[in-house]
Amino acid sequence: VIASAATRAGFDALWAELSPVGRDPRTGGYRRFAWTRADAELREWFVATATVRGMQVEVDRNGNQWAWWGTPGPGAVVTGSHLDSVPGGGAFDGPLGIVTAFLAVDHLRASGVVPARPLAIVNFIEEEGGRYGIACLGSRLMVGAVDPATALALRDDNGDTLGDTIGVDPRGLGPDPEALARIGAYVELHIEQGRALDREGAGIGVASAIWPHGRWHFCFGGEGNHAGTTRLEDRRDPMLPFAEVVTHVRALAERYGILTTVGRVRVDPNGTNAIPAQVDAWLDARGAEAALVEEAVRELTSHAHAAGSGRGVRIDVQRESWTPAVDFDATLRSRLLLALDAAGTSAPVLPTGAGHDAGILASVVPTSMLFVRNPTGVSHSPEEYADDSDCLAGADALATVLEDLLLRAEAPA
Ligand code: HGY
Ligand code: MN
Ligand code: MN
């Protein structure tokens, strides 16, 4: 990569500032949940990073932060990502898109680019749904894909609602047509969460599509009782139908050719010598075809009911979120590919099974994504990693496509 010395120094500086925030020194993983102390630090970092650049910062009605180069207004070229993480997350998923956005702006300004339209860097709140359960909450609220009353009632694992903990006026939450009307195009850079680029020997890729995906809450209600005195035939143990659901969904995933994960479980009261009163589990299911995902979940739900009724366990299944398949804007993608090609970067076009705010915005504005090579493919883990040289190449690629979009007088896509 021929990233400038300034970009390299800027990357090192910004990365070093973010590194300690929300990091578990024991595992090296990050816990950066929305509207927590770690998030407040990250949001302050965002403001400070924008302010030293003379960029005006705004917080929209849903708590997303915007840093503006130029006067906020319609036709803006918008880039960015998120600063929150999954529990035990990596350093790159989210922050890389925001750090490279600031570096791209630095580079364009240093090169004397005079934009024909405003540019904004956005930090979307609660992208992972790590705290309140619904991924891309900030962008979903903005486009009206989540009802504000429903969002405000979401609870974290301590039982606190979003309404109680949110850092903006809860009465303002909801669709934000004014914020959306200013976006001419949105381009999000993200670490790849697989190994497709590595296999192709490419540092940078462009997204074609996002798989349809959703989250379901399975509640298994039994009867808490003593582990030493309750006869097996008298038990209503929710752990058993839960365990059947976990193994059955894996079989369904293989049969339907989809991906399913049960990665979050809550056992109440969670005592070694107590039969649980209740088990709550969350299913994440994704696939290339929505119909197959939906069919598998239907089948799993009937299986859960059958497994529960045989054991005196109540079953309740609720879909918490659903994101249909996203095909990113073809015109915008072609522009990105042309601009990258002119800069000597050949970028493979690839779909992904990971969700992004760009996927939510894609229903209302022209949207595209750049991916940065992930040599191991690992993500949502402390092991998530990208080489510095690929991150710098990402910043360069982002600058290239933003410049192309900023210099055009007509609408970006
Ligand atoms: O869960 C996801 O797909 C994303 O990384 N937010
Ligand atoms: Mn993620
Ligand atoms: Mn992400």
Write out the two tokens for 127.
């992208």
How far apart CA 66 and CA 114 sit, in angstroms, is 20
In the sheet that holds 213-221, the strands lie side by side as 259-268, 278-286, 213-221, 314-323
Ligand 1 pocket member 354 (CB < 6 A): yes
Nearest atom in ligand 1 to 93's CA: 5
pLDDT, position 408: 77
Gap from CA of 271 to ligand 3 centroid (Å): 34
Q: What is the pLDDT of residues 61-84, one digit of tens each?
A: 999 999 999 999 999 999 999 999
Ligand 1 pocket member 287 (CB < 6 A): no
Return the residue matching tokens 């992930």. Answer: 374
| Sequence-distant (≥ 6) Cβ neighbours of residue 270 within 8 angstroms | 276
Neighbours of 74 (CB within 10 A): 12
How far apart CA 30 and CA 24 sit, in angstroms, is 6
Ligand 1 pocket member 120 (CB < 6 A): no
Q: What is the pLDDT of residues 174-219, one digit of tens each?
A: 999 999 999 999 999 999 999 999 999 999 999 999 999 999 999 9
Q: Tell me the pTM.
A: 0.96
Gap from CA of 402 to ligand 3 centroid (Å): 20
Using an 8 Å Cβ cutoff, are 85 and 93 in contact? yes
The CB-based long-range contact list for 155-158 (8 Å cut-off, 24+ gap) reads 156/33, 156/131, 156/132, 157/266
Among protein residues, the one with the nearest Cα to ligand 1's atom 4 is: 355
pLDDT, position 2: 61
Among 380, 381, 384, say which to mutate for ligand 1: greatest number of ligand atoms within 8 Å of CB: 380
Hey, CA dihedral for 98, 99, 104, 107, is it positive or negative?
Answer: positive
Write out the two tokens for 161.
């609602």
Give the ligand with the smallest distance to the CA of 30.
Answer: 2
pLDDT, position 413: 56
399 torsion bin: left (phi>0), alpha (psi -120 to 50), beta (else): alpha
Using an 8 Å Cβ cutoff, are 347 and 337 in contact? yes
How far apart CA 263 and CA 85 sit, in angstroms, is 15
Gap from CA of 142 to ligand 1 centroid (Å): 18
Ranges in the chain, pLDDT < 70: 1-2, 409-413
